[in-house]
Every structure is written in C-alpha cells, then in structure tokens.
Amino acid sequence: MSESPLQGQDGSGAPVRPGQLTVRNLVKTFASRQETVQVIKDVSFTIEPGQFFTLLGPSGCGKSTTLRCIAGLERGDRAHIAVSGRVLADTDTGAFVPASDRDFGMVFQSYAIWPHMTVAQNVAFPLHANRRRHQLSRKEVGERVEEALALVRLDQFGGRIATKLSGGQQQRLALARALVTRPDLLLLDEPLSNLDAGLRDHMRGELRAMQLRTGVTTLYVTHDQSEAFSMSDVIAVMDAGVLAQQGAPRDIYWRPSTAFVATFVGQTNLLSVVRPPLQAGSGILSVETTIGPLLVNVASERPIGPGDSVVIRPEDLQVTREPPLDGRANVFRGRVRRPTFLGENIELEIEIGSELLMTRQHPRFAFGAGDEVYVELPVDRCVAVSGAAAGVGSHIRGTIGDPAAPHTNAAQ
Amino acid sequence: MAAAAVLIWIVVIPLIYLIVFSFRSGTAAAPGDWTLANYALVYTSKMTHAALGNTLIYTLMVATLSMAIAGGLAWLVERTDMPYRGAAWVMILLPIAMPGMLSSMAWILLLGPRTGLINVILRGLLAPFGYDAPSGPINIYSMEGMIFVESVRGSTTLFLMLVAGFRLMDPALEEAASMSGARTGYTLRKITLPLMLPMLLATWMYSFIGTLDDFETPLLIGLPAQIFLLPTVIYFTAYLSSSWGLAAAYATIFLLISVVLVFVYHRVVLRRTSQFATVSGKAYRPRQIELGRMRWPALGLVILYFILAVMLPLLILVLASLLPFYRVPAWDMFSELTLMNYEQLFSNTRVLRAAGNSLWVSFWVASGTMILAFLLAWVIVRQRVPGRMILDSIAFIPHAIPAVVVAVAMIMFYLSPAMQWTGLYGGLIVLSLALVTRFIAFASRTSNAAMTQIDASLEEAAYVSGARKARVLARILFPLLLPTFVAGWIFVAANAFRNLNVSLLLSTPQNELISVTLYDYWERQADFSMASALGVVLVVGLAAITILARQLIARGYSGND
C-alpha cells in the first residue's frame, strides 16, 4: 500500500481528516494451555474526527481488547488500523507501530497513576518521554502541565504525591496525563467504573464537557448503558466478539437490530415471531406473534421469520380501561397480573393470551390485580429484530406458568 | 489462656534466663556472682571483632548476591519470552529440597582445596601451563566459598518473593508509560524500577536477616577455615569450650542486633512497601519483553543456576555415597561402586534410633506448633480479650531470635537450678520445645492470616444456632482452616526434620536427631561416604514427603469444595 497519507486507507479514496480512526477486519485470539478463544471476530468501524464513540457490551464481549489493539498494547491476529491516515497496524504489510509511538492519550480503568511521582510529574511524564516528538523547553513543559491540570481543575495539587488524591481526583489526573500531549485520539477504558455512584454521574458530565471543549476524537469502552447514552455521539454495541449494531443513542434504544441489543440496553418486551410475514419486503408489515398478528416496523436489510422477535419498550405500551377508538391497530385485551407501585411510576405485568408484557405507567392510574384492560402496542414503537432473547442481560418476561421466569433477573 | 501460658513458657522465660545468665559467673547449673566480666571479655576479645566483621561481610554479600540471582531469574521467568519458562520454574524451585548442610558438604567435595573434584580437574587442565601446586586453584574454605554456596542456595525463597512482587504490580502502570510515548528502556528506568524499589529493598533486608541466622554454611565451611561468624562463635564458646557465661553474653548481643533489624524490617520497610502497593483487579498479564537472540542464552543462565544449585551437588553426593571410602574421584573408581553404605545405614542402630527420634520430634513439633498457633490466632484475631496484642507480639518475638540463641536460652533455662530437677535437659522434650519456639512465629503469622480471611459471620451463625465455643472451634473454624493447618504442619515437620542449628546445640547421646548424626559422620568421623549416603536418603525422603503432602493438600481443597 503506497497511498499518500491524505488518501483514505480503505481504498475508497475519501480524504482522511486528522483524528479519524479506521479499524478494519480486526480479529484477535487468545490461546491458553486449555483453550483458544476468539475474543474479536472481524470487527470494522470508523470514528469521525471529534466524535465521542462508545463501545458498549457485557464483560467478555471483546470491547476492551478492541481498545487495546487500537492502543497497540495487543496485536490483532488480523487488523488494519489507521489514525489520521497514518497506518498503525496492518497484518497484510506487517506494519506495526508500538504503543509508545502511537501518540494517543489513554485512561485506564485503574487510572494507573504512578505512585512514586507527584501529580505534576505524572502529567509531565508523556512530555518527557516524547521529547523527540514534542520539542519543548523546560518552561513550555511547565506551562503544558499547568494547562492540563487546569483543564481538570487540579491546578492546586501539582506538588502533591499522586496517591494522596481521592478517587475522583485520580481519575481527573489520569485524564490530564492523557490529554497533555494533545493527542489525535483519546482512549478511555471503563474509566468511571471504580468511582462510587454519585461521583460517576458527575464525572460523566465533566468528561463529556471536556471532550467537547478539546474536540479530541474519543473511543470510550463501557458496560454501562447510561454512561454510553449520556455521553456518546455514536454507540457500537458489541456482543461475543462482533459489532451487533452501531448508531446514535436514540437509534440503539428505539430501533435495535437484534434481540441482544434490545435486551442489553434498557428493559424490553420481546414477542416471538410465529410465522414469516405474508408480504415480503420492509416497512410496516403484519407479523404473526405469540399474542396474535401485529403491525411492526421491519428494516429492509433484515427479513424476519420464526426465531426472530418483535420488541416494544415497557414505557411505550398504552394501557386503558376503556376500549380505544376504533381504527387503532395492535390493540389487545389483557388482565393486570401484578401491579407494583414504585413512586414515580407504576409497574404492571399484563397477561395477553399466554404472554406477559411488562409496562410502566403513570402512578395515578390505580390498576389492581385482575383488572381487565386494553393494551395498545403503538405501531411505530414495535420493531422487528433478528434473534430471540437469551442469556445474560435479558429482561424478558416468561410465559405464564413458567416458574423459572424470574421477576428480577435484571443484570444491573 | 493455656495457650498464652505455653507461649510465655517457651518464649519469654528462656530469654529472661539467657539475659540474666549473661550477667553471672559460673555454670548454668550453678550460677555464681553477678558480674559484667562476660561482656568485658566479649568486648576485648579479638574473636568478637573478627566475628562481627565476618558476619557483616557474609550477610551483606550473601543478601546482595542471592538477591541479584533471584531478581534475574524472576525477571526472566515473569517478564520475558524466554523459552521453557515452565521447566525453568521447576529448576529454580528444586533447591528448596536441599538442606543447607548438604549443599555445603557437596561443595566441599567439589571444591575442597586438595581433593575437591573440580579442583582436581582444573589442576589437570592447568598442568600444561605450569600449575603444579598440590592444592587449589579454588579453595572452598574461604569467605568467598561460603558466600558462593549460601548465595546460590538462598536464592529460591527470594525468587518466590520477587515473583509475587512482580505480579502485584498493576500492568497498567507500565502500559500507561507506553501510551505516554516511553520505550521499553525508558519505562524500565523511570517506572518499573522505581516502583519495584521498596519491594526489592524489603526482599534484600529479609535475605539479610535470614542470612544472619544462617548456621550451617558457617559451621561446615567456616569453622574448618577458622572463619567465625556470630552463630559459630556462640556454638564454639558454648559447646566446644564450655564457656557458658560468655556464650550467653554473645547470644544476648546477637539477639539485640537481630531484634533491632527485624523491628526495622517490619515497622519501617514493610510499611513503606505497602504504601506503594499497586494492586489492580485487571487480569491482563504484563507484556513480555522480547529477548530476541538472547532467548536461548537466557535459558542457559537458568540451566547454569540449576546445575550449580542442585545437579552438581546432588551428583557428587550420590557418587560419594556409592564409594566404599571417599577418595578423589577418578575414572577407575567405577568398578568400586557399591551400595554398601546404604546397607550399613539401614542396619545401623544409631542411625535408626536417630531417625526414630527425628520422626517423633517432627510429628510432635509440627502438631504442637500448629495447634498452639491456631489457638493463638483465634484469641488474637477473634476474641476481644485484653492483652491479645501483647500475645501477638510475643508470638512474633521468635521471628527475631536467631536459632542458636534459642538453643542457648533453652540450655540456660533447663539447666538452671529452678528446672534442673525435672531432668528434662538432654531429652527430646526440651529439644521439641526449642523447635516449637523456633517455628511458632512462622506458624502464628500463617494462622493469623488464614483466620483473618474467614468472615466472622460464619462463626456468629454457629453461635446463633446454639453452639458453644468449643463446638464452634471444632466444627466450624477447624474444618475451614484445615488446608492452612495441613500446609503449615508439613512445612514445620519438614523443617524440624532437617533442622541442625537448634538440635546440634541441644544434642546429647540420648536425643540425637538424624541431622546431628549426619553432621557427626561428616565432621567428627570424617566418613564422607556414609554422610553422603545419609544425605541422599534425607533429600529423597524430604522431596517425596513434600510432593505427597502437596497432593494431599490439593485433594483436600477439592474435597472441601
């Protein structure tokens, strides 16, 4: 490959701007004595300059390994990784730039604050280690350290021994150290997971504000959906080594593409598809489900059939005592099984045929167990997804009479 | 409370007798007037200055050298891509089965100035170049010889400590340096080494204190070479010249030095180290440094270590044990090889009696030490008894008492007019008590740690269920702690079995242990072949027991799950 550095590395010829990250065909296998595990199975994505891009997935899905391959801390078995048009790893040509020469900022889950240095020394380290690339005088180094510390509001703490800082301060220190060289790319590996809940919510806002201020392209890895939703421009959901779906937070939530994505982010109802739709194609189609025919949104790239599911979020169900006006689609009669008053809302399980659907309604609706109700599943909120629910992170209600159907199997 | 009484009986009272006696004239059995003469003699004796100087050089050099060896090996095994790292582990850990007495003996056979095998070979090789001295070129009976033998032997424990230290370090600390643009060498200099420094210092000091207590190399190599160290001075004055008051004074001084060092180690060095603790939850192994062309030479170093620490010593011992009389090995001796020594060994009543004694002592010492340690741990960790921290400190004192001092203190106590009538001195019981004192610090630390791991609510649940204390102890705590108990038991039993430093000073014809018999064959009867045969049996036996025990423990663990 001998393209000019300003040409796209994917052969499309599209111009590459500084801060753009391209990952193509990333594969990574870990071999131990007992077994070989392919933790990343062919992952490709592009992060546009200035984007806050989040890899979201359960533990063991390969998200951290993906980040470490981009950082250069792991070598992919197969990979093409380029940032700002500069090829960092390409298994076809054998090119591999070591982590120390990639010029990225990174915040580790454990922060990796060096305990034998002061706060200022921690921040200054990348400038010293990089002296060849950042030709700075002693004075300039001091200024850059001040600037980075001020950015995270630690400018009063420069002389402190780093381990004397609180958890939140250490986290900000790690961020200052990652940003002090003004890198093209910032890598964040579950940076908030070691903070307590209150601080985590606060740091979420800080982190995003910082990213917007500096405009640095950011790759964020987390298993926490609220972190992902609140900060990201783009979320990529990872599952078992593959990218299940990539999109804006709202798309991920309202238009999931697989049952896994639907159940991993937020609570959801999943209804199994019984027969393929009568008409082929996409758009709003009538699909036979376990509670009867439903009008649902079918995406053009995913024809559905038995084994697939229909998703509707609990807060989208319309529950009324009186029948809705004629002409409404997707209306079913049901019976309230278990109303749970939660203060800000009321959670209901509604029995429709042999299925249980979960919903949240305004608490002023005083539903009681056994009440007969009408349930509308608004057409634009019913989405066909591929696959059925299974495994960790599912929030699906079981069918009636299934004692194993857990009421509280919500992971997190 | 009985446990506390036992502890005071075996630790505090003998030490008081030792210190008191160092200020009196006469013999332990019939103490004379109060006097400072013992200390005056110590102060003016040339031997004292020489011994202090020798001890300092010896401990400094051994600690530094074994640290360097262990550090290099640990780094190769943990942090590089050296080939056959699994096999390297085994090669580095095997020397644990080799008692210090045997390595010294083996190295004397290899490097003795006149008859040492290596010297004989070297003389042959050097003859064409005009070397015709009847001895040399290497003399094991020297300070260098002692330092060499003990540094090679002492590296194994340090290796384990350093590997643990390497593993405690969060790999992200080094990765963060890589991400900051630092190359391997820069990271090593600026991040890895400074982070490891407190741990390295602590390990070095641990080695220093352990070497200070070392008795076997100074005894076997130093004594014939007239190189006295503090432990051998005490042995010499007490046992060979019967100046007990003087020995007590030496022992008291030795005790003081050791206590100060151990105090500094625990209160200053270890605390510093824990401040730097950088434990993380992430399971990523640190990146291995690629050695490139140096991969195979690196493995060569490990093999060289293995040859020096285990293979050569063991081979020469086996060879010596197969010769009817020990003589300089030569090619014609293969026709003489015989199992005669082994036959004699197994039919010799003295050897069999000593072996019986050793088994008896190991069993009771291990059982007694571990039970005492567990009762103490229970009191110290769980019970809210006033004064339990004092107990903890008392249990810890033996850690700072050199073995030779334990032995001298026991002699002072049981020969004193107050205890003489018991007739216990010279028997197996006093010997066993001395060994319990020797090992209680180790056992107590292990048990405390294990007890701390067990959540108090497990016991509380038993109390709430209506169980009394004794039942809780027997039915809840003991089964939970059994694996630790068994592991500690085996450690103590194996070490009691091979112990020489306490048992030699306390030995009489009635309570001779197998290690003392071995030393006697070697030193007094100069029967190198019989000593080697006994040594080989000892190593094989200890290795077999250790392996068997490990499997038992492993099975016990899975059974408990």
The B residues from 246 to 285 touching A (CB cutoff 8 Å) are: 275-276, 278, 280-282, 284
Do β-strands A78-83 and A86-90 pair in parallel, antiparallel, or remain unpaired?
Answer: antiparallel
Q: Are A84 and A16 in contact (CB under 8 A)?
A: yes
Q: According to the model, what pLDDT value does residue B285 have? A: 60
What are the pLDDT digits (tens) for A281-311? 778 888 888 888 888 888 877 778 888 889 9
Sign of dihedral through CA atoms B524, B102, B349, B406?
Answer: positive
What are the pLDDT digits (tens) for A94-143? 889 888 888 899 998 888 888 888 899 999 888 888 766 667 788 888 99
Q: What is the mean pLDDT of residues B99-124?
A: 85
Q: Do B176 and A105 touch (CB under 8 A)?
A: no
Q: According to the model, what pLDDT value does residue B280 have? A: 45
Q: Name chain A contacts of B194, Cβ cutoff 8 Å.
A: 116
Look over chain B and give the mean of its residue pLDDT values, rounded to a whole number: 82
Q: Which of B505, B387, B372 is nearest to B442 (CA)?
A: B372
Distance from CA of B182 to the nearest CA of A (A): 5
Distance CA A98, CA A81 (A): 12
Lowest mean pLDDT: which of B8-17, B56-65, B327-336? Answer: B327-336
Distance CA A64, CA A70 (A): 10
Does A73 share its domain with A192?
yes
Q: Name chain B contacts of A115, Cβ cutoff 8 Å.
A: 195, 275-276, 278
Last residue of a domain, one of A185, A220, A245: A245
Q: Do B175 and A98 touch (CB under 8 A)?
A: no
Distance CA A98, CA B18 (A): 64
pLDDT higher than 90, residue B140: no
Within 10 angstroms of residue A218's Cβ, the number of other Cβ atoms is 27
Distance from CA of B183 to the nearest CA of A (A): 6
Q: Do A73 and B195 touch (CB under 8 A)?
A: no
Q: Count interface pairs A-B at CB distance under 8 A.
A: 85
Do β-strands A52-56 and A309-312 pair in parallel, antiparallel, or remain unpaired?
Answer: unpaired
What are the pLDDT digits (tens) for A50-99? 999 999 999 888 999 999 999 988 888 999 999 988 999 999 998 898 88
Do β-strands B24-26 and A340-341 pair in parallel, antiparallel, or remain unpaired?
Answer: unpaired
Residue B40: HSE in the Cβ half-sphere, 13 Å Cα cutoff: 6
Residue with tokens 């002061």: A118
| Residue among A68, A129, A174 minimizing CB distance to B177 | A129
Question: What H or E segment, with its residue span, contains residue B352?
Answer: helix B349-377
What are the pLDDT digits (tens) for B239-264? 777 777 788 888 888 888 888 888 88
Q: What is the mean pLDDT of residues A328-338?
A: 88
Q: According to the model, what pLDDT value does residue A398 have? A: 36
Q: Do B170 and A104 touch (CB under 8 A)?
A: no
pLDDT higher than 90, residue B283: no
Q: Do B190 and A110 touch (CB under 8 A)?
A: no
pLDDT higher than 50, residue A199: yes
Distance CA A374, CA A330 (A): 10
Among chain B residues, CA nearest to A177: B180
Q: Which of B495, B514, B497 is nearest to B157 (CA)?
A: B495
pLDDT higher than 90, residue A402: no
pLDDT higher than 70, residue A400: no
Q: Do A103 and B276 touch (CB under 8 A)?
A: no
Domains B1-30+339-561 and B47-337 belong to one CATH topology: yes
Q: According to the model, what pLDDT value does residue B265 have? A: 81
- Helix ranges (H only) for B213-243 are 216-217, 230-235
Among chain B residues, CA nearest to A181: B180
Distance from CA of B85 to the nearest CA of A (A): 14
Q: Name chain B contacts of A178, Cβ cutoff 8 Å.
A: 179
Among chain A residues, CA nearest to B197: A116
Do β-strands A318-320 and A372-376 pair in parallel, antiparallel, or remain unpaired?
Answer: antiparallel
Distance from CA of B269 to the nearest CA of A (A): 16
Whether residue A1 is contained in a domain is answered as no
Does A136 share its domain with A277?
no
**Of B180, B183, B272, B275, which to mutate for an interface test with A (greatest number of A Cβ within 10 Å)?**
B180
Distance CA A385, CA A255 (A): 9
Whether residue A9 is contained in a domain is answered as no
Distance CA B536, CA B533 (A): 5
Do β-strands A242-247 and A234-239 pair in parallel, antiparallel, or remain unpaired?
Answer: antiparallel
Q: Where are the domains of chain B?
A: 1-30+339-561, 47-337
Among chain B residues, CA nearest to A104: B179
Lowest mean pLDDT: which of A147-151, A274-278, B513-517? Answer: A274-278
Q: Which of B411, B402, B421 is nearest to B501 (CA)?
A: B402
Q: Do B195 and A114 touch (CB under 8 A)?
A: yes
Does A282 share its domain with A190?
no
Q: Do A115 and B175 touch (CB under 8 A)?
A: no
Q: What is the mean pLDDT of residues A160-182?
A: 87
Q: Name chain A contacts of B183, Cβ cutoff 8 Å.
A: 98, 100, 129
Q: Do B176 and A163 touch (CB under 8 A)?
A: no
Largest CA distance in chain A: 78
Q: What is the mean pLDDT of residues B542-554?
A: 72
Q: Which amino acid is at B125?
A: L
What are the pLDDT digits (tens) for A212-237? 988 999 999 999 999 999 999 999 99
Distance from CA of B453 to the nearest CA of A (A): 24
Does A200 share its domain with A330?
no
Lowest mean pLDDT: which of B72-81, B198-207, B377-386? Answer: B377-386
Among chain B residues, CA nearest to A75: B287
Distance CA A406, CA A269 (A): 14
Q: Name chain A contacts of B177, Cβ cutoff 8 Å.
A: 100, 114, 125, 129
**Total structural domains in chain A?**
2
**Residue/partner pairs of B52-58 with CB below 8 Å, 24 or more apart:** B52/B230, B54/B143, B54/B222, B54/B227, B54/B228, B54/B229, B55/B212, B55/B229, B55/B230, B57/B143, B58/B143, B58/B146, B58/B147, B58/B150, B58/B211, B58/B218, B58/B229
Q: Which residue has the higher pLDDT, B132 or A274?
A: A274
Q: What is the mean pLDDT of residues B433-451?
A: 85
ipTM of the complex: 0.74
Q: Name chain B contacts of A163, Cβ cutoff 8 Å.
A: 275
Q: Do B176 and A114 touch (CB under 8 A)?
A: yes
Q: Which residue has the higher pLDDT, A185 or A115?
A: A185
Q: Do A73 and B175 touch (CB under 8 A)?
A: yes
The DSSP letter of residue A316 is G
Q: According to the model, what pLDDT value does residue A396 have? A: 42
Among chain B residues, CA nearest to A186: B179
Q: Do B173 and A102 touch (CB under 8 A)?
A: no
Q: Retrieve residue B232's tokens.
A: 């051998």
Q: According to the model, what pLDDT value does residue A300 have? A: 73
Q: Do A129 and B173 touch (CB under 8 A)?
A: no
Distance from CA of B49 to the nearest CA of A (A): 41
Interface of A with B (CB under 8 A): 68, 71-73, 98-106, 108-112, 114-116, 125-126, 129-130, 133, 163, 174, 177-178, 181, 187
Per-residue pLDDT band for A390 (boundaries 50, 70, 90) equals low
Q: What is the mean pLDDT of residues A367-377?
A: 88
Distance CA A394, CA A260 (A): 8
Among chain A residues, CA nearest to B174: A112
Do β-strands A21-31 and A78-83 pair in parallel, antiparallel, or remain unpaired?
Answer: antiparallel
Q: Do A99 and B176 touch (CB under 8 A)?
A: no
CATH fold of the domain at B1-30+339-561: MetI-like fold (1.10.3720)
Q: Name chain A contacts of B178, Cβ cutoff 8 Å.
A: 72-73, 98-100
Q: Do A109 and B186 touch (CB under 8 A)?
A: no
**Domain limits for position A329:** 259-385
* B191 CB within 8 Å of a chain A CB: yes
Per-residue pLDDT band for B365 (boundaries 50, 70, 90) equals very high
Whether residue A15 is contained in a domain is answered as no
| Residue among A102, A105, A110 minimizing CB distance to B172 | A110
Q: Do B172 and A115 touch (CB under 8 A)?
A: no
Q: Do A101 and B280 touch (CB under 8 A)?
A: no
Q: Are A158 and A145 in contact (CB under 8 A)?
A: yes
Look over chain A and give the mean of its residue pLDDT values, rounded to a whole number: 83
Whether residue A32 is contained in a domain is answered as yes
Q: According to the model, what pLDDT value does residue A28 have? A: 92
| Residue among B183, B197, B276 minimizing CB distance to A100 | B183
Q: Retrieve residue A36's tokens.
A: 């070989």
Q: Is B1 helix (H, G, I), strand (E, B) or coil?
A: coil
Q: Do A105 and B179 touch (CB under 8 A)?
A: yes
Q: Name chain A contacts of B275, Cβ cutoff 8 Å.
A: 115, 163
Concatenating the DSSP letter of every residue in B79-95 gives HB--S-HHHHHHHHHGG
Residue with tokens 């076809």: A92
Q: Do B181 and A103 touch (CB under 8 A)?
A: yes
Whether residue A119 is contained in a domain is answered as yes
Q: Are A203 and A195 in contact (CB under 8 A)?
A: yes
Q: Edge-to-edge strand order for the sheet containing A95-96?
A: A36-47, A21-31, A78-83, A86-90, A95-96
Q: Which of A233, A257, A227 is nearest to A245 (CA)?
A: A257
B47-337 placed in CATH 1.10.3720.10: yes
Q: What is the mean pLDDT of residues B108-117?
A: 84
Q: Residue B377 contacts by C-beta under 8 Å, 6 or more apart in sequence?
A: B444, B447, B448, B450, B451
Does A54 share its domain with A151?
yes
Distance CA B363, CA B280 (A): 41
Q: What percent of chain A has pLDDT over 70?
A: 89
Q: What is the mean pLDDT of residues B78-92?
A: 83
Q: Do A114 and B173 touch (CB under 8 A)?
A: yes
Sign of dihedral through CA atoms B299, B301, B303, B309?
Answer: negative
Q: Which residue has the higher pLDDT, B500 or B280?
A: B500
Q: According to the model, what pLDDT value does residue A51 have? A: 94
Does A274 share its domain with A238?
no
Q: According to the model, what pLDDT value does residue B557 have? A: 46
Does A224 share its domain with A89?
yes
What are the pLDDT digits (tens) for B1-14? 677 888 888 888 88
What are the pLDDT digits (tens) for B391-420? 777 877 787 788 888 888 888 888 777 777
Q: Number of H helices and number of E strands within chain B?
A: 29, 2
Does A114 share its domain with A214?
yes
Distance from CA of B171 to the nearest CA of A (A): 8
Among chain B residues, CA nearest to A103: B181
Distance CA A321, CA B553 (A): 67
Q: Do B276 and A98 touch (CB under 8 A)?
A: no
Concatenating the DSSP letter of every residue in B98-122 gives S-HHHHHHHHHHHH-TTT-HHHHHH
Distance from CA of A326 to the nearest CA of B (A): 58
The B residues from 152 to 171 touching A (CB cutoff 8 Å) are: 170
Q: Retrieve residue A13's tokens.
A: 């010829």
pLDDT higher than 70, residue B555: no
CATH of the domain at A35: 3.40.50.300
What are the pLDDT digits (tens) for A22-47? 999 999 998 776 788 889 999 999 99
Question: What H or E segment, with its residue span, contains residue A107?
Answer: strand A105-107
